């Protein structure tokens, strides 16, 4: 068994797609996952399981569809990948000063080669965007509220669904893995 991190996109936000974390962890246990821990209500899980990231994503997406009646995107990464994300953050100074404004973006599939350029075209609110490996990083220098970088734009630019997590969450998930 290996340790993984699952990021659920678009749950418990503004009353949409409600999933109680206790029930979610129980469903993960039904899938044969072990040591399931959740972090905040926006859908972050750390767990151990057998399988590939893709099969784990698919399995949980199907269970959520059946149990709650809606479809969401789930992105799973191996916990061994997580320290690389932390190390490759291109905005370390901003992360220390404004940890809620620096976001790690992970896509379901590897982002298109021109994803950063496409996002930068719409970055008119002072956002800085970089790519590090399979991760897209954004520093929302002037806040997220005025940004034109919508979830749909991220998805189109990357070529598959993307979910973002702020720097504090990235560090907490690493801490939860013990790495």
* pLDDT tens for each residue of 86-101: 999 999 999 999 999 9
3-class SS letters over 78-142: ECCCHHHHHHCCCCHHHHHHCCCCEEEEEECCCCCCCHHHHHHHCCCCCCEEEEECCEEEEECCC
What percentage of residues in the chain have a pLDDT greater than 90?
89
Q: Which domains does the chain have, with CATH numbers?
A: 2-78 (3.30.70.1280), 85-177 (3.30.70)
More confident residue, 13 or 165: 165
Q: What is the pTM of this model?
A: 0.95
pLDDT, one tens digit per residue, over 37-76 is 999 877 899 999 999 999 999 999 999 999 999 999 999 9
């Amino acid at each position: 068994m290996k340790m993984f991190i699952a990021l659920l996109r678009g749950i418990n936000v503004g009353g949409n797609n409600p999933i109680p974390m206790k029930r979610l962890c129980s469903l993960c246990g039904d899938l044969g996952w072990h040591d399931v821990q959740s972090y905040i209500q926006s859908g972050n899980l750390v767990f151990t399981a057998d399988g590939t990231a893709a099969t784990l994503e698919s399995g949980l997406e199907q269970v959520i569809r059946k149990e709650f009646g809606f479809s969401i995107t789930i992105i799973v990464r191996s916990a061994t990948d997580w320290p690389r994300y932390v190390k490759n953050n291109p905005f370390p100074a901003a992360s220390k000063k404004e940890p809620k404004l620096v976001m790690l973006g992970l896509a379901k599939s590897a982002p298109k080669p021109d994803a950063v350029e496409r996002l930068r075209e719409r970055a008119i609110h002072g956002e800085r965007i970089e790519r590090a490996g399979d991760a897209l990083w954004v520093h929302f220098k002037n806040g997220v509220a005025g940004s034109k970088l919508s979830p749909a734009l991220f998805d189109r630019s990357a070529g598959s669904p993307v979910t973002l997590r702020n720097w504090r969450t990235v560090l907490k998930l690493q801490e939860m893995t013990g790495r």
